[in-house]
Amino acid sequence: MATTAALRGRGLTKRFGEIVALDHIYLDVAQGQIHGLVGPNGAGKTTLLGLLLGLAVADEGELEILGTPVGRTLDAPDGVAGFVDGPGLYPALTARRNLAALAALRGRDNHGADIDDVLDQVGLSDVADDRVRGFSLGMRQRLGLAAALLTEPRLLVLDEPANGLDPAGTKRVHGVLTRLAANGTTVMLSSHRMDDVESLCAEVTILSAGSIVFSGPLGKLTAKNQELDYRLRTSDPVAARALALELPGVRVIDDADTPASQDSEVLVVRALVPDLDELVARVVRADIALRELAPVVSPLEAAFLSLTDQTEQKEAGR
């Protein structure tokens, strides 16, 4: 069985005049994986996604998509679909007509069933014959995803696909992406919503100022990180607080800037995972019911903030 990366970047560098948008990026993404791409604004995410879609070529480095080297603009191989900076839709056309025009552009005139199917997948069957002009942002995002699905992609590139989605829409989009990945499609997903990335992605790449500050499994990112803040809701907050204060590796947070710490029934502690485990064991042994345990900010978000802060400090120090 051969091993093939859906995406393989080696030393990718892209400049816009004096600005280095991407600085020697090395990236591997496996087939059938949903890979998250996160980073602050201006980190180079859109530029990287643009390279994957073939909208631009790297000034330096090598890029291989689905096993095919990409050397020229608009040279991405068949099977690559998606959008950056929002889906491209024509407001004067209905949702169905947008998809039909796109299908006809690709020489697939008689694929009405496919159009119905992708509209159903993204939950837009009921508004299929409405003009896109009246669509909300979330509906446009879903229609953009439907347009990408219509091409039966092997690499799907999505930029902020969850923008404007309500919980039901988010759930539907997550379901579509998970099914695609299960069927072997690679999904490259850029998002500022860490909860989306955490719930969908097996691996994540964090970009900051054009450089990769982390790329790998989410679990590895969490383990590498520093102490995290956790909120504990127990049946006896006073006793739980006393137990936490006894443990040297656990700090109780009473910071006014942490909203959770203002709730008298909630204990907020800062600890590494082993120390947190010890605290939980002591709470349980003390016959205190543990009703809720959750990080105050997600591990990914904490890592993101920590790593990008470090990069920004380095940049500022130069």
Partner 1 sequence: MTSAVAEAPPSPARPVPVARSYRFELVKLLSQWRVRVLLIACLIGPAGFVVAVGQQSSLPSDTTFGRWMSSTGWAGPLVLLGFSGTYALPLLTSLIAGDVFAVEDRLGTWRHLLVAVRSYQRIFAAKTLASLTVIVLLVVGLAASAIVGGLASVGAQPLVGLDGHLLSSGDTAGKVLLAWLCVLAPTLALGAIGLLGSVALGRSPMGLILPVLVALAMGLAQLLPLPIALRLALPSYGFIAWIGLFTDPVQAGPLLISIAVCLVWAVVATVLAYRLFIKRDFTNLSNDGGGRRALVVGVVPLVVVLLLTVGVITWSARPTGSGIDKDKLQRSVATAFAHLYRLQASQMHHPDVTESAMGAAAACTKGTGQVVQDGAGTDWRCAVVWHLPGVTAGQSAVYELDVTSDGRYQADGDGPLQINGYFMVHTGTGDQPNPLWQFDGNVDLLPSN
Site of interaction with partner 1 (CB under 8 A): 1-6, 16, 28-33, 46-47, 50, 53-56, 66-68, 74-93, 97, 101-102, 104-107, 147, 154, 184
Tell me the two tokens of residue 126: 């009921």
Q: Provide the terminal-to-terminal Cα distance of the chain, rounded to the nearest Å.
A: 47
Going by the DSSP 8-state scheme, the letter that residue 122 receives in this structure is: T
H, E, C per residue of 128-168: CCCEHHHCCHHHHHHHHHHHHHCCCCCEEEEECCCCCCCHH
* Beta carbon nearer to partner 1, 3 or 313: 3
* Beta carbon nearer to partner 1, 7 or 288: 7
* Beta carbon nearer to partner 1, 43 or 244: 43
What is the nearest approach in angstroms of partner 1 to the Cβ of residue 121?
19
| DSSP assignments along 217-255, one per residue | EHHHHHHHS--EEEEEEES-HHHHHHHHHH-TT-EE---
* Beta carbon nearer to partner 1, 124 or 244: 124
What is the nearest approach in angstroms of partner 1 to the Cβ of residue 77?
4
* Beta carbon nearer to partner 1, 202 or 280: 202
| DSSP assignments along 62-89, one per residue | EEEETTEE--STT-PPTTEEEESSS---
* Beta carbon nearer to partner 1, 5 or 247: 5
56, 63 contact by CB (below 8 A): no
What is the nearest approach in angstroms of partner 1 to the Cβ of residue 100?
9
What is the nearest approach in angstroms of partner 1 to the Cβ of residue 228?
28
Specify the 3-state DSSP secondary structure of 213: strand
* Beta carbon nearer to partner 1, 14 or 231: 14
* Beta carbon nearer to partner 1, 25 or 76: 76
What is the nearest approach in angstroms of partner 1 to the Cβ of residue 307?
22
What is the nearest approach in angstroms of partner 1 to the Cβ of residue 110?
14
143, 95 contact by CB (below 8 A): yes
Question: Can you say how many angstroms the Cα of residue 16 is from the centroid of all Cα atoms in its chain?
Answer: 25
What is the nearest approach in angstroms of partner 1 to the Cβ of residue 141?
13
What is the nearest approach in angstroms of partner 1 to the Cβ of residue 220?
13
Going by the DSSP 8-state scheme, the letter that residue 260 receives in this structure is: G
Q: Which residues, other chains included, contact 187 with Cβ-Cβ below 8 Å and sequence gap of 6+?
A: 33, 34, 35, 155, 156, 158, 177, 180, 181, 200
Kindly report the backbone phi and psi dihedral angles of residue 101, in degrees, each rounded to the nearest multiple of 5, phi listed first: -65, -40
